[in-house]
Amino acid sequence: MKQLKLDDLNKIVDQELEFGQAYNYRINVCCSTSCVSLGSLKVLKAFEDAIKEFGVENECKVARTGCIGACSVGPTVLIEPGDYAYSNVTPEKVRQIVRDHIVLDLPIRDMLYESGTFFQKQHRLVLRNAGKIDPGRIQDYICVGGYGALCKVLTNMAPQGVINEVLASGLRGRGGAGFPTGQKWRLVARAVNTPKYIVANLDEGDPGVYANRSLAEADPHAIIEGMLIAAYAVGAEKGYIYIRSEYPLAVQTLQKALAQAKAMSLLGSNVFETPFKFDIELRLGAGAFVAGEETAILASVEGKRAMPRPRPPYPANMGLWGKPTLIQNVETLANIPLIVQNGSAWFAKTGMTKCSGTKCFSLTGKIANPGIIEVPMGMSLREVVFDIGGGVPGGKQFKAVLIGGPSGGCLPEQLLETAIDYDSLLKVGAIMGSGGIVVLDEDDCMVDTARYFTEFCVDESCGRCTPCRAGLPRMLEVFNRITHGQGELTDIGTLEKASVFIRDVSLCGLGQTAPNPVITTLRYFKNEYISHITEHKCEAGKCYTSRYNKEEPA
């Protein structure tokens, strides 16, 4: 096929717009994993049937799209123009929606999603296209300006210029550690060895976190374009997207997107008639949580056991097969086209000075509006939990918020004013992590929560370093004693000592952050530990302590 030019992109946009103008309405049916499990494919079929039945197939287009974020009220349907979001749509309701909304132009107020400030308080950059474009059609992505940024860097910018732009934007890695993206690019670009590689990290293993999956299912081309731009900037020839095999729909979506990009010569050699060449391959994970760690992912891509190795040497110098490798989270990569298109100054306006842009979170737990959200950096946790999330449902008392997945920290109510950015969270003992916020209410026991996450990390330890492999199980034993009413007050000291040891001495991020839930619950909820031990009482009723008498231990 002949090489694509910017004119060709514009032609596709014109064609699509012309095509789109024929339609008055566009019905976007969410077909991401959570909505599909609630039957959105049947809803999609019902819409297609209904518009035929009413004879309006020339007036409206039914599209299968990604997630708009309101996962608790799925299947969701977004009707444009006007962005009317219908929630809990069933095939039975479809006829009524088509009749009233499309034929009579009367949106059905009762069926619209009562979101409060769920959408208003969000700031969607990475998820800009989620729920609005069909992830299975590259034309849809091109139509919203997609691959324009790639064309711009290939034809008008030097690699160093791209790196400077990313540096100036203040973008930091969204994988959790928050290393400045521009600096990482500069390191890889300066490395002398060739070939260079890029690895996009989509190994999202934290329990209850699915923000990256949602992104891949809704807008795969944004990830691919980000990777292409990064490849041009650092001089890489080959990229790998490392994705969990537990995400079949995301794998399928990405495979399709890669095939389309290849067919349009956006991947391969001579992209946009320039000497630039780049190819992307998918690599599927085999289910290890630790494979998301920077050096373990490299081992896994190479086909080895996913085990982290000590740094230095850093992957920027010695990564895949000993060659310089850039490892970025997919969310970071999806930010890149925006920075290139709109400039670093525009991007830096969002968020905070030292920490610009937005962050996607999956908001789960005891919350009224769970789902995928994207908020500007620096927003307070209170705003996220109560304004976007709608607070704790059922009139229950809020207790804590766990931010950062199984290795994050549990923060109590008095710390809800904490701003969401890397440094503020670190200060209070939590981490940004891969973007999970779990809300806990009065029915949750903090000792049991810490025990659960310790158990998770015990199972997921790779087995390499002593503190994580041999130390974490000892902590779990102490927890099991406490939650079975056999704890002693000295156990608190043992836990404190062991958690600091594991944090300081472990090899990789998994071990270093695994004690965070223990450290933070000991810091903010110590009275719960004490009441478990001395009074054998679990106020939330989660632990066995209260069921046993002092005389007859389990």
Partner 1 sequence: MLHVTLQQGGASINPNNVRLRINGSEVAVPEGTTILKAAALNGVEIPTLCEIEGLTPYGGCRLCIVEVSGTSKLFPACTTPAAQGMEVTTQSPKLYEYRKMVLQTLLAERTHICAVCVANEHCELQANANNHGVDHVMYERNWSCESIDSSHEFLVIDRNRCILCTRCIRVCDQIEGAHTLDLKFRSKSTNVIMDQDQNWGQAMSCTSCRKCAKVCPVGAIYIENENIEFTKDRDIAAFLSKRRRRSR
Residue 467 in contact with partner 1, rule: CB under 8 A: yes
Q: In 425-452, which positions are buried (b, 16+ CB within 10 angstroms) versus exposed (e)?
A: beebbbbbbbbbbbbbbeebbbbbbbbe
Residue 470 in contact with partner 1, rule: CB under 8 A: yes
Residue pair 393/385 in contact (Cβ under 8 Å)? The answer is no
What count of residues does the chain have?
554
CB of 537 to partner 1, least distance (A): 24
Cα(391)–Cα(407) distance, rounded to whole angstroms? 23
Find the binder of partner 1 among 100, 477, 496, 539 (CB under 8 A): 477
Residue 495 in contact with partner 1, rule: CB under 8 A: no
Residue pair 70/115 in contact (Cβ under 8 Å)? The answer is yes
Residue 473 in contact with partner 1, rule: CB under 8 A: yes
CB of 332 to partner 1, least distance (A): 23
Angstrom distances, CA of residue 369 to CA of 206, 387, 530: 20, 10, 33
CB of 303 to partner 1, least distance (A): 13
Residue 486 in contact with partner 1, rule: CB under 8 A: no
552 CB neighbour count, 10 Å cutoff? 7
Would you give the distance in Å from CA 503 to the centre of its chain? 25
Would you give the distance in Å from CA 449 to the centre of its chain? 22
Residue pair 422/355 in contact (Cβ under 8 Å)? The answer is yes
The contact mask relative to partner 1 for 509-538 (x = CB under 8 A, - = no) is: ------------------------------
Strands (E), 389-536: 398-403, 409-412, 436-441
Residue 471 in contact with partner 1, rule: CB under 8 A: yes
Name which of residues 304 to 363 contact partner 1 (CB under 8 A): 305, 309-310, 312-313
The contact mask relative to partner 1 for 429-458 (x = CB under 8 A, - = no) is: -----------------------------x
Read off φ and ψ for residue 27, nearest 5 degrees: -100, 110
Residue pair 250/256 in contact (Cβ under 8 Å)? The answer is no
Question: Between 329 and 506, whose beta carbon lies closer to partner 1?
Answer: 506
Question: Between 52 and 497, whose beta carbon lies closer to partner 1?
Answer: 497
The counts of H helices and E strands in the chain are: 23, 13
Find the binder of partner 1 among 474, 484, 523, 537 (CB under 8 A): 474
The CA-to-CA distance between both ends of the chain, in Å, stands at: 72
Name which of residues 88 to 117 contact partner 1 (CB under 8 A): none
Residue 372 in contact with partner 1, rule: CB under 8 A: no
Residue 179 in contact with partner 1, rule: CB under 8 A: no
Name which of residues 254 to 313 contact partner 1 (CB under 8 A): 288, 290, 305, 309-310, 312-313
Find the binder of partner 1 among 108, 426, 505, 530 (CB under 8 A): 505
Sheet holding 398-403, edge to edge: 371-376, 358-365, 436-441, 398-403, 409-412
Residue 121 in contact with partner 1, rule: CB under 8 A: no
DSSP letters along 382-431, please? HIIIIIIS---GGGPPEEEEEESGGGSEEEEGGGTT-BSSHHHHHHTT--
Residue pair 522/495 in contact (Cβ under 8 Å)? The answer is yes
| Residue 348 three-state SS | helix
Question: Between 308 and 389, whose beta carbon lies closer to partner 1?
Answer: 308
Residue 69 in contact with partner 1, rule: CB under 8 A: no
Residue 2 token pair: 């002949």
CB of 503 to partner 1, least distance (A): 10
CB of 314 to partner 1, least distance (A): 11
CB of 456 to partner 1, least distance (A): 10
Question: Between 143 and 307, whose beta carbon lies closer to partner 1?
Answer: 307
Residue 498 in contact with partner 1, rule: CB under 8 A: yes
Number of chain positions touching partner 1 (CB under 8 A) = 32
CB of 182 to partner 1, least distance (A): 22
Residue 407 in contact with partner 1, rule: CB under 8 A: no
CB of 536 to partner 1, least distance (A): 20
Residue pair 279/266 in contact (Cβ under 8 Å)? The answer is no
Window of 17-25, 347-355, 363-371, 471-479 that interacts with partner 1 by CB under 8 A: 471-479
156 CB neighbour count, 10 Å cutoff? 9
Residue 507 in contact with partner 1, rule: CB under 8 A: yes
CB of 478 to partner 1, least distance (A): 8
Residue recorded with tokens 């999609």: 44
CB of 473 to partner 1, least distance (A): 5
Find the binder of partner 1 among 20, 161, 195, 463 (CB under 8 A): 463
Residue pair 360/127 in contact (Cβ under 8 Å)? The answer is yes
Residue 395 token pair: 């009139």
Residue recorded with tokens 């001579």: 270
Q: Which residues bind partner 1 (CB under 8 A)?
A: 288, 290, 305, 309-310, 312-313, 458-467, 469-471, 473-474, 477-478, 494, 497-498, 501, 504-507
